[in-house]
């Protein structure tokens, strides 16, 4: 029996300040560019103002990419284009600056933090700052066994909470959240299918490297078999993460919820993070108000999860690579929305009066024509 009380998050998480959001909307109506002319940027600026409880919205000055890493035993069924246990190679490439997320982060001046939760490698092969939260080496094959034990799931969840606290305490003002895994999209598909009550085929995508048809069928069968093990534990979210998730997914879920507690906005990257967010929504229904969907990765499981949480992606570039790359692509758009909301001047009072008079005369004219 876990000592972790997930119900506490429902009590601790508040919605972003609705009064501040209304103030931001009122300020937007007074600016020289008419409301609606900036499209989605208006909504993003108002979301950020409410999250910050500040009008005008403050610029995003200390964003951070946080990536949770792990290997999944289900990858041994050849459901991924990468060999099982090879996520450590991706982590090393990120640390050395050779992955897409590394290039984008360097260009945007955003630091990247990698947190190893369950990589299948010797922990001494990676920096201590990466491995210090590790729970175990790899995970179980979720079609026939639990990914992790309940105690390990709790430890991973608490590690995610601790990382969120570290980021909030260090002054991070927005997080781009992603994962580095092999087999992680399969585990994510199981979570989404279980929580949305759908079949395996509805949520089975082709992953970051676009697996072929045979691999897709193996992946679909693996999700189907894991679903049978997931359904009996749907009422216990921590047990669900232990059964068909993994240490990295449990940590991401804990991280997301604690960010909502700490009022730290999060940009969600791909299907793995979206699946964890869906688990987080089951735990605390107000939590998704603190999260922003970065992009549409083309993974059906991600689309299903985001639709269930009523989160609309900012971008649709077809980026499947994961690792926070799509999340970073959305960051300049969010920063632009903040800058426009804060820096566009307001109309002079005379212009406001003229606009009101013009609107009033139009109403009178329409009434006269109706008569």
User: Catalytic site residues?
Assistant: 323
Which tokens go with 175?
């997080």
96 touches 79 (CB < 8 A): no
Q: What is the CA radius of gyration of the chain?
A: 22
121 touches 88 (CB < 8 A): yes
What's the rounded Cα separation, in Å, for the pair 252 and 165? 13
Q: Show Cβ contacts of residue 238 under 8 Å, excluding neighbours closer than 6 positions.
A: 2, 4, 6, 150, 153, 154, 157, 250
Element (H, E) at 179: strand 174-182
Q: Show Cβ contacts of residue 120 under 8 Å, excluding neighbours closer than 6 positions.
A: 71, 84, 85, 87, 88, 137, 138
Q: Taking the CB of residue 340, how many other CB atoms lie within 10 A of it?
A: 18
Strands 112-118 and 291-293, by their bridges, are: unpaired
Three-class DSSP category at 203: helix
CA nearest to 266, candidates 48, 18, 111: 48
Beta bridge partner(s), residue 66: 113, 177
What's the rounded Cα separation, in Å, for the pair 337 and 48? 9
CA nearest to 118, candidates 255, 254, 250: 250
Which tokens go with 121?
């490698």
What's the rounded Cα separation, in Å, for the pair 102 and 138? 24
């Amino acid at each position: 029996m876990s000592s972790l009380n997930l119900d506490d998050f429902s009590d601790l998480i508040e919605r972003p300040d609705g009064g501040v959001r209304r103030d931001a909307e009122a300020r937007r109506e007074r600016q020289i560019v008419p409301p609606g002319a900036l499209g989605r940027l208006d909504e993003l600026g108002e979301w950020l103002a409410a999250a910050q409880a500040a009008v005008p919205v403050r610029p995003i000055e200390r964003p951070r990419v946080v990536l949770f890493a792990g290997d999944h035993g289900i990858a041994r069924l050849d459901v991924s284009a990468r060999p099982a246990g090879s996520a450590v190679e991706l982590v090393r490439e990120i640390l050395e600056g050779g992955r897409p997320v590394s290039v984008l982060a360097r260009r945007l001046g955003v630091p990247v933090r990698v947190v190893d939760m369950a990589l299948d490698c010797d922990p001494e092969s990676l920096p201590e700052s990466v491995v210090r939260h590790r729970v175990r080496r790899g995970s179980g094959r979720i079609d026939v066994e639990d990914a992790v034990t309940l105690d390990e799931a709790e430890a991973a969840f608490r590690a995610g909470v601790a990382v969120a606290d570290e980021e909030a305490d260090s002054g991070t003002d927005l997080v781009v959240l992603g994962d580095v895994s092999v087999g992680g999209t399969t585990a994510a598909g199981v979570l989404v299918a279980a929580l949305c009550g759908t079949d395996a085929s509805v949520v089975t995508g082709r992953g970051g490297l676009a697996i072929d048809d045979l691999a897709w069928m193996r992946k679909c069968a693996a999700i189907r078999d894991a679903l049978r093990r997931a359904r009996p534990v749907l009422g216990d979210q921590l047990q669900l993460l232990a059964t068909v998730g993994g240490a990295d997914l449990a940590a991401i879920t804990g991280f997301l919820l604690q960010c909502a507690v700490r009022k730290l906005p999060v940009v969600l990257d791909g299907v793995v993070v979206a699946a964890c967010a869906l688990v987080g929504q089951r735990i605390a229904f107000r939590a998704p108000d603190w999260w922003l969907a970065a992009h549409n990765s083309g993974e059906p499981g991600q689309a299903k999860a985001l639709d269930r949480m009523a989160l609309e992606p900012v971008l649709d570039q077809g980026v499947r690579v994961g690792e926070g790359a799509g999340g970073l692509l959305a960051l300049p758009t969010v920063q632009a929305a903040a800058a426009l909301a804060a820096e566009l001047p307001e109309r002079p009072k005379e212009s406001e009066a003229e606009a009101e008079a013009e609107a009033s005369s139009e109403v009178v004219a329409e009434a006269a024509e109706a008569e």
